[in-house]
Amino acid sequence: MARKRPGAQQIIAKLREAEVKIAQGGTVAAAAKKIEITEQT
């Protein structure tokens, strides 16, 4: 079964979650790991 790409709303939610993590003093690497993407993405 093929993987589905996340929808626009899911992407926005993950980016907001990462933004909050970084604003709280976290690193970009930690935020990327939390939302399950690679740092380069």
pLDDT of residue 33: 93
Question: Identity (one letter) of the amino acid at 28?
Answer: V
Q: Which tens digits make up the pLDDT trace of 1-41? A: 788 888 999 999 999 999 999 999 999 999 999 999 988 87
In the chain, what are the domain boundaries? 7-41
pLDDT of residue 12: 96
pLDDT of residue 25: 96
Query: What SS3 state is found at 16?
Result: helix
pTM equals 0.74
- Return d(Cα 41, Cα 11) in angstroms, integer: 12
